[in-house]
Structure 1
Amino acid sequence: MKKGGIKNKLLIELLITFVIVNISTAGASIYNTGSYPGNSFVDPSVQINVSDFSIGSETYVGPFTSFTGEYAHIGSYSDFQDGVSNSGKITIKDDAVIAHGADLVGEVEIGSKAFIGFNSFVKNSKIGDDAYIGIGSKIIGIDIPSGKSVPEAAVIDSTDDIEKLKDVTKEQEEFVQEVISVNRVLAIGYTRLFEKSGVSAFGKVGPNGDGDILLDGKDILARSGSNEPVIGAGSVIESARIIGDVFLGENSKVGSGTSIRADEGIPTKIGKNAMIGRNNTFHSLNDQEIIIGNDLNLGSDSVLHGQLVLGNNVRIGNNAVVFKSTIGNNVEIGNNAIVVGVQVPDGTVIPSDSVVQTKKDMGLLNPEAVAPGTRFASIMELFLVAMVPIVLGLVVSVVLRKKEH
């Protein structure tokens, strides 16, 4: 074969290889994290692997969020909180909130000022403006009208389900607006910190900052005058994130993908010997704290959100949510359980898949699993109530006898 033929053959082979490589990588674009124009911030732990990614102004994307599939188009003043998964064709309008652990799959559109609750699931659906999706809910193939509220743990997969939905409450509207406002502050502050210190500030423990994020005039990454979270001796931090005013006790373990983010509600204090699994989120509302005792045992994919107090030796399973609650000692909370706004006595067992939001829920859920002192008090109350008519009967009998004499 002539030399010219060999050269031509090599050129053809190189061209074929170039075409094959480009075809195989098409649709697998990798976008940068960090700061974006307009003071939007994408945490360096976020994975963006879509063909087309766009983001508006003052939008915050928190740790361990992921984007895969065809595209993600995100408006301004929105936020994706820790551990949110997005896969498919994702469109987010302005002022939307995608809360911790939510999962968006397929062709999904989230309306303006809509709220997608902790650990909720939305597939092939359009969520209308001002709609509110409760914690742990599943929306499958059904569009949610504007201004409608989906209860916690609801499954919406037929048009009949829509008729039962109530309107969003004033309290829910105010809550969403506060979340939007705070996360705009976070977007601007983290952008400032990233541009000043770069990705090196965003390691396993950090960022810490120095007046970079001011919320209501407070440096929310500082801890009692220090800019360093406190990690107890002997503790192991895998590929996790510990941010802001955090105290983690000695001999604890934090699994990969877990975010302990004390940058809004502060402080977050976790006692010694905590065993924390993978892909969990610890976070709190503005000016609210998380206080956890010793020997916490937490599974994976759960959300612990303040205001929150947990006693000693609390065990929480996978994919659970505990929010705005006070949990006693030696309490067990099962997989997929949702616990919101309640006081849970010592020794209580909350089974998997339970939804506990009221005192009535506590009583109906597991009346045998309450603290011994509480049970004794309840028995005494019943005894006293039962004795009232007996005592009254005796008094009346005595009075009548006296009259007879």
Structure 2
Amino acid sequence: MNKYKIMRYNPVGPTNMYSYFVTSNPPTSFNPISTYPTIDKTAFIGPFSSIIGDVRINKEVFIGCNVTIRADEGTPFHIGNKTNIQDGVILHGLKNMRFTVNDKQYSIYIGNEVSAAHGALIHGPCIVGNNTFVGFNAIVFNSIVEDGCYIDLGAIVTNGVRIPAKSYIPVGAVIDTQEKANALKNISEANENFSENVVKANIELSQAYSLKFGDTRCSCGLCCDSSTFKNLGN
């Protein structure tokens, strides 16, 4: 007879299926205005993610689990349509350092249909152009990445460089001078197709998760599926 007893976890009562933290930034000497995030109703915010301060999240954006988007120092942030910010990604910015997009200044500006893969760090001031892929554990800081680029895993883009459109940044590369940025090769068709497929998959995930949880989110920051409400009625 097996001396070890198998223990199974059975939740008692309602289960917290889905929680996140969304709030305004605390007023400080360098950022005295407290601003609440603006999040489109079609966006999905995953469990245990934080969105703080002057952040605009546009249509059909997917925010994965354990994402930190913290506009409490550098501000504001912009996240464009159909962009996905995957699990463990961090967005933060330095105070009083911004780039200008369409006559407005931003600490972080992320365009449309961008993928920020698991564990990436996007730190302002920076711009990430449309249809760009930021790979696993990659870092983008104090730089401008133009449209259609592919930043492979573990690469670093920094030091005020401007990455030309359709550039490929290799695995683990450190692009910290404009000479290095100008010498980059163009993105391959395979990487371009991969980037497009990542965007499509996460748009579908955003819609599917939103459908699963429906309109059950409330001001407490919790969201449960329909079985929770059935349990509450018992």
TM-score clears 0.5: yes
- Do residues 131 (structure 1) and 149 (structure 2) align? yes
**In 1, Cα distance between the equivalents of 2:111 and 2:27?**
32
Aligned to 1:116: 134
The residue that corresponds to 1:361 in the other structure is none
* Cα displacement string for residues 202-244 of structure 1 (whole angstroms, at most 9, x for unaligned residues): 8xxxx99xxxxxxxxxxxxxxxxxxxxxxxxxxxxxxxxxxxx
1:72, CA displacement in angstroms? 1.4
Match of 1:62 in 2: 64
* Mapped pair 1:102 → 2:102: no
Asked if structure 1 preserves the Cα contact closer than 8 Å seen for 2:163 and 2:182, the reply is: no
- The 2-side partners of 1:154 and 1:148 are apart by 13
Name the SS for the 2:77 alignment partner.
Answer: strand
> Which residue number corresponds to residue 194 of structure 1?
213
Q: 2:56 is aligned with what amino acid?
A: S
Give the deviation of 1:30 after TM superposition: 4.7
Any conservation in 1 of the 2:119–2:137 contact (CA below 8 Å)? yes
Report deviation, 1:110: 0.8
Q: What residue number does 2:51 align with?
A: 48
Aligned residues: 180
1:195 to partner: Cα distance: 2.4
- C-alpha offsets along residues 146-195 of structure 1, whole Å, 9 cap, x if unaligned? 00100000000012212331110000011011011111111111222232
Rg: which structure is higher?
Answer: 1
Q: Percent identity?
A: 29
TM value normalised by structure 1: 0.41
Cα distance in 2 for partners of 1:116, 1:176 equals: 9
1:194–1:145 Cα change, 3 Å? same
| Mapped partners of 1:189, 1:155: distance in 2 | 37
Aligned residue runs from structure 1 range 315-326, under 5 A = none
> Does structure 1 residue 81 correspond to structure 2 residue 86?
yes
In the TM superposition, what are the counterparts of 1:219-258 in structure 2 within 5 Å? none
In structure 2, the partner of 1:72 is 77
Counterparts of 2:135 and 2:214, CA distance in 1 = 31
Q: Secondary structure at 1:104's aligned position in 2? A: strand
C-alpha distance in structure 1 between counterparts of 2:87 and 2:147, whole Å: 22
Partner of 1:163: 182
1:42–1:61 CA contact under 8 A, matched in 2 = yes
**Residue pair 1:58, 1:184 contacting (<8 A) in 2 also:** yes
Contact kept in structure 2, 1:102 and 1:120, CA below 8 Å:
yes
Q: Distance in 2 between matches of 1:162 and 1:53?
A: 29
CA offset digits 1:75-128 (Å, max 9, x no partner): 101100001111121111111111110101121111111000100011111111
TM-score normalised by L of structure 2: 0.70
For 1:156 and 1:113, the matched residues in 2 are separated by 20
Distance, in Å, in 2 between the alignment partners of 1:200 and 1:163 is 47
Unaligned runs of 5+ in 2: 1-25, 94-106, 228-234
Whether 1:90 and 2:90 are equivalent positions in the alignment is: no
Distance 2:121 2:136 in 1: 9
Q: What secondary structure does 2:163 align onto? A: coil
Runs of 4+ in 1 over 6 A off after TM superposition: 21-25
Q: Which amino acid aligns with 2:61?
A: T
Cα distance between partner residues in 2 of 1:196 and 1:159: 48
Give the CA deviation at 1:46. Answer: 1.4
| Amino acid paired to 2:208 | G
> Residue 219 of structure 1 corresponds to which residue in structure 2?
none
Give yes or no for contact 1:30–1:48 (8 Å, CA) kept in 2. Answer: no
String of CA shifts for 1:300-343, please: whole Å, max 9, x gaps: xxxxxxxxxxxxxxxxxxxxxxxxxxxxxxxxxxxxxxxxxxxx
Q: Is contact 1:28-1:49 (8 Å) kept?
A: no
Q: Is the 8 A contact 2:37 2:52 kept in 1?
A: yes
For structure 1, the residue ranges without an aligned partner over 5 or more in a row are: 1-20, 209-405
Q: How many Å separate the matches in 2 of 1:85 and 1:22?
A: 21
Whose helix fraction is larger, Structure 1's or Structure 2's? Answer: 1
- In the other structure, the counterpart of 2:40 is 36
Q: Deviations over 1:114-144 (max 9, x none)?
A: 0001000111111111101010001112111
| d(CA) in 1 for partners of 2:27, 2:87 | 33
Report the Cα distance in structure 2 between the residues aligned to 1:42 and 1:159, rounded to whole angstroms: 36
Distance 1:143 1:58, change over 3 A: same
